[in-house]
Structure 1
Amino acid sequence: MRRPTDPAAREPGATALTLDQIFEATARRHPTRIAVQDGWNQLTYAQTDRQATRLASALVRGGVQLGDPLIVHCENHRHALVAQLAVLKAGGVCVSAPRTPYRGGLPAAARKSASRAVLCSRSTYDEEVRGIPSLALDDPVTWRKIASAPPEPTLPRSAPEGAAYLLLSGDPTATDHGRLIDHRSWIRSAADRSRRIGVAPQTVAIAEPPMSPAALAAMWWAFSRGATLHTAPWQDDERWPLTGGPDSAAVLTPDAYARHLAETPGVLPSRRSAVDPAAVVLIGGPSSRHIVARHFRTRPGTRLWAEFAPVDGSMPWTAQELFACDANRPYALGVGGPVPPMLLRLLGPAGETLPRERSGELVAIGPSGLLEDVHRSGWYGCWTPENTLDLTGRRRPYADGAGVRGPIRHDSPVHPTEREAI
């Protein structure tokens, strides 16, 4: 079976692409290829791109300007994908509003992001959102209205250096409005993941709600490769989403994978199973020895990668491959080495850069090097002689949730029970 070509692979000097342009390029070359397989429901690349173009035309005719934020809050990945592509084609910014508790709910997210509209489903429609329109993409009336709008000749209006997503902070004590991530960062992250892992999957499987950080990372990894995003099983399968075979990969959070492994009965044979994915990628927080041990007992032939993404859970700061021998370490696992083009620093109490083997707060500086591209993680760690990052603790909230204290430990060895909690 042929692997999908990589639409993001460009010749030197070629014009940079945006996320929606990469998707559109695959739709032109492979119109019948499945973009999203959601249970028995599916959308091809051509169908998705056609619907997104119609919706984007309606958004532009409705007054959406370049850089305008729009919330995407859909019930399933099919509608969420159409909505995201439409916003990007219109030159807008997708605001993440996953179906997880958010302080103040959707109305607060709309106010905080100053969104121009909400693209949702009938089940996720919130009547408390006032002052801006809400479009339910699973409502036939919505599409009848959209069909009456003529195609917008200026599409697409996206630019590689333009913001693609605003990921709102889930921290109730945060004072910022979230993190803007441009098209180039998503494309670079997906390309780096493919190079690190050495897998060009035809299918990327997830078990995350639409617009969640891990789902976004998996989605653009799949679409940058012209692959299929597989979001739900065709039938009940206790091992989902880790079925699919050697041409697939699975993306989960460490917590979700730990729950999955705890529910997996028995031990699979030591040989590789035909339904196991080629790789499991854990993105978000650090992984534990218990995850590594259970993974290699149940899927010894599947590679395990961990990506540490502390700020928004989508863009990794560090990455490392985990092996069966890591489960026998006498101390907790680290989080790997830096991922280009992130520049990592460990800062002391006065903001000074610390040398190796001294513990400080982990801070990342993005490609631009500008002040707004400096991100404090809230995690503390130290560099090992192998140039990997060893976490030593993190900030703790006050008892009343009104602020933050110092780290669990600072510039000192971590007690084994504390490290195990990490």
Structure 2
Amino acid sequence: MSAVTMIGTGGRETGGDSGGRPAKRSRTAAEPVTVDGLFAHAAARRPSEVVVADGGRPLTYGAARENASRLASVMLRYGVQLGDPVLVHTADHAQSLVAQLAVLALGGVCVPVPDGAGERDAARIAEMSGATLVLCSGVHRERWALDAMVLDDARTWARIAPVRVDGSLPRSGPDDVAYLLTERTEGGGCVGHLVDHRAWLLATGARLRRAGRPGRGVRTGRRPGGALGLAALWWAISAGSRLNGPAAPATGRDQAGAAAVYGPEEYAEFLEGAVTGAPGTALVIGGALPAGLVARHRELLPYTRLLAEFSPRDGAMPWTAADCTSAHADGSGAGSAVPRVRVTVRDEEGRPVPAGATGRIWAAGAALPFDRLCDGCREPAVGHRGSLMSSGYLGRWAGEGSLEITGRTARSAPARSSRSASAFACAAHGAA
């Protein structure tokens, strides 16, 4: 049994409006304005329902809220302040969710580290973010020279259990940075994408409206910490549903009809294998779809809805979206721009090109990361909210405002901005 589920599972879930919390907390009941507020809204309505099944004992909404609140209170005593980055490196999605919620409630910046990240990648993420604390699983503890809280160690929770939830929680605000999403560059470096609460909610809400409510849950074959796992988790939470991770104990009957999130190549491999437990909706997130994927999908899974999101950089924040279920869709188009995102195609000089002409694909908008960090950079912090971001892809506008991907750029465009780790706090709270 995962230690994450040990606290708050015995009917101890309490309402979210007690304990002398700030007045802003009351807004989350009607209209969440932060990522942790979105979860609190869902937890208040279904505290006993499962939010994550991955590995050990299923984690309920109420237990996740209770665990996260106590963990956040301990971290506050430890000295974590508003805008501080905290690494999250866990082996299952249940531990990851509790850690994310705790960091967000503190007004900190959650820095997910992919479960399979090697020592070099982990070190680069830590250096770029400037984090001094990691919330991790026992299997990852030896990779970190930083202070750590091991979330699957019963001794950790034995120390946390007596702690009273701090009355100042939650401390997050809609303009604060919620996540630093990392991306490995072609040269082996690391780039981080700064996402505020508002942008994450805009992207998550638009996904829910497009893809619908996954009543049987969302499943993912990805381990926690990566973009696809995060997208799947928050799609499920925004719908008040559940996430089934790769280690979720489930039968074929339980899996059939559930929604599922894949990367483009991952879904192509799924279709080439023995297709069992067909999802009710397949959501493919990332770069361009492989050639022939849509036709293969129609051949094997004619009753499964196929949706695609073009998310070329951080992988979790879509630029365009397409419904590939319709008969005329062939997979070559990336669809139309999602709400609150402006996509443009430009030549090498940065000038917009006419419809039908090929150029570099750029985008900006409130539903995208507002800035970027890179490792090894030592330039001062400068606000870039609203600036264009290069996709690294070539494309053109086809008919009816649909974006068509034609290939990759010969060389990735430079990052929009370059920040040092010491400038992180300025980026987190001075870029509104």
TM-score bracket relative to the smaller structure: 0.7 to 0.9
Which consecutive unaligned segments of at least 5 residues does structure 1 have? 1-9, 269-274, 398-402, 406-422
- Of residues 195, 204, 208, the one that matches 2:218 is 204
What is the alpha-carbon distance in structure 2 between the residues aligned to residue 404 and residue 366 of structure 1? 18
Contact 2:336–2:401 (CA<8 Å) still a contact in 1? Answer: yes
Q: CA deviation at 1:193?
A: 1.6
Aligned residues: 374
Sort the Cα spacing of 1:388 and 1:102 in 2 relative to 1 into closer, same or farther, 3 A. Answer: farther
> How far apart, in 2, do the equivalents of 1:243 and 1:261 lie?
20
2:396 aligned to which of 382, 388, 394:
382
In structure 2, what residue type is equivalent to 1:354? V
The match for 1:395 among 398, 409, 413 is 409
Question: Which of the pair has the greater relative contact order for Cα pairs under 8 Å at 6+ separation?
Answer: 2
Q: Which whole-Å CA distance do the structure 2 matches of 1:114 and 1:234 have between them?
A: 34
How far did residue 16 of structure 1 move?
4.2
**Residue 123 of structure 1: aligned partner:** 139
Q: CA deviation at 1:160?
A: 1.7
How much does 1:314 deviate?
0.5
Q: Does 1:371 align with 2:371?
A: no
Deviations 1:272-327 (CA, angstroms, capped at 9, x unpaired): xxx54321100011113422122222221111011000011111101111137458
User: What residue identity is the alignment partner of 1:250?
Assistant: A
Contact 2:50 / 2:59 at 8 angstroms: preserved in 1? yes
Distance of 1:126 and 1:212 partners within structure 2? 20
Kept after mapping to 1: 8 A contact 2:309/2:320: yes
Which residue of 77, 81, 84 maps to 2:97? Answer: 81
1:337 match: secondary structure: strand
Distance in 1 between residues matched to 2:117 and 2:31, nearest whole Å: 40
The equivalent residue for 1:158 is 172
Q: Does the 8 Å contact 1:326/1:333 carry over to 2?
A: no
Residue 34 of structure 2 is matched in structure 1 by 18
Deviates more, 1:370-379 or 1:88-97: 370-379
Aligned amino acid, residue 371 of structure 1: H
Deviation at 1:102, TM superposition (A): 5.7
Counterpart code for 2:286: G
Q: Return the alpha-carbon distance in structure 1 between the equivalents of residues 265 and 234 of structure 2.
A: 22
Pairing 1:170–2:184 present: yes
2:236 aligned partner: 222
Alignment of 1:240-389 (within 5 A): 244-246=255-257, 248-264=258-274, 276-323=278-325, 325=327, 333-367=332-366, 371-373=384-386, 374-389=388-403
Flag the 1:251–1:353 CA change in 2: closer, same or farther, 3 A.
same
What residue is the counterpart of 1:48 in the other structure? 64
Q: How high is the sequence identity, in percent, across the aligned residues?
A: 36
CA distance in 2, matches of 1:204, 1:353: 39
Cα separation, partners in 2 of 1:307 and 1:62, compared to 1, 3 Å: same
Task: Give the deviation of 1:211 after TM superposition.
Answer: 1.6
Q: Per the alignment, in what secondary structure is the counterpart of residue 280 of structure 1?
A: strand
- Determine if contact 1:361/1:380 at 8 Å carries over to the other structure: yes
Q: Tell me the SS of whatever aligns to 2:42.
A: helix
8 Å CA contact 2:104–2:110 kept in 1: the answer is: yes
SS of residue in 2 equivalent to 1:55: helix
Contact (CA 8 Å) 2:55, 2:92: kept in 1 or not?
no
Aligned residue for 1:352, secondary structure, equals coil
In structure 1, how many angstroms separate the alpha carbons of the residues matched to 2:254 and 2:303?
A: 13
Partner of 1:136 in structure 2? Answer: 150
Distance 1:88 1:243, change over 3 A: same
The structure 2 residue matched to 1:105, chosen from 121, 124, 131, is 121
- Residues 42, 364 of structure 1: CA spacing in aligned structure 2 closer, same or farther, 3 A cutoff? same
Distance 1:404 1:310 in 2: 13
Q: Would the alpha carbon gap of residues 136 and 234 (structure 1) be closer, same or farther in structure 2, given more than 3 Å must change?
A: closer
> What CA deviation, in whole Å up to 9, does each residue of 1:244-265 have, x standing for no partner?
344x311111111111111126
Distance 1:277 1:97 in 2: 28
Distance 1:102 1:333, change over 3 A: farther
Letter aligned with residue 314 of structure 2: D
CA distance in 1, matches of 2:173, 2:87: 19
Amino acid at match of 2:301: R
Describe the shift of the 1:372–1:118 C-alpha distance in structure 2 as closer, same or farther (beyond 3 A).
same
Three-state SS of the structure 1 residue aligned to 2:292 is: helix
Task: Tell me: CA distance 1:313–1:36, structure 2 relative to 1, closer, same or farther (3 Å).
Answer: same
Counterpart residue identity of residue 380, structure 1: L
Partner secondary structure for residue 222 of structure 1: helix
- How far is the alpha carbon of 1:29 from its aligned partner? 2.3
Normalised TM-score (structure 2):
0.79
Residue 64 of structure 1 corresponds to 80
Letter in 1 for 2:44: R
Cα distance in 1 between the residues matched to 2:120 and 2:410: 22
TM-score, with length taken from structure 1? 0.81
Q: Which amino acid aligns with 1:257?
A: Y
SS of structure 1 residue aligned to 2:51:
strand
The 1:39/1:394 distance shift into structure 2, 3 A limit, reads same
Alignment-mate amino acid for residue 382 of structure 1? R
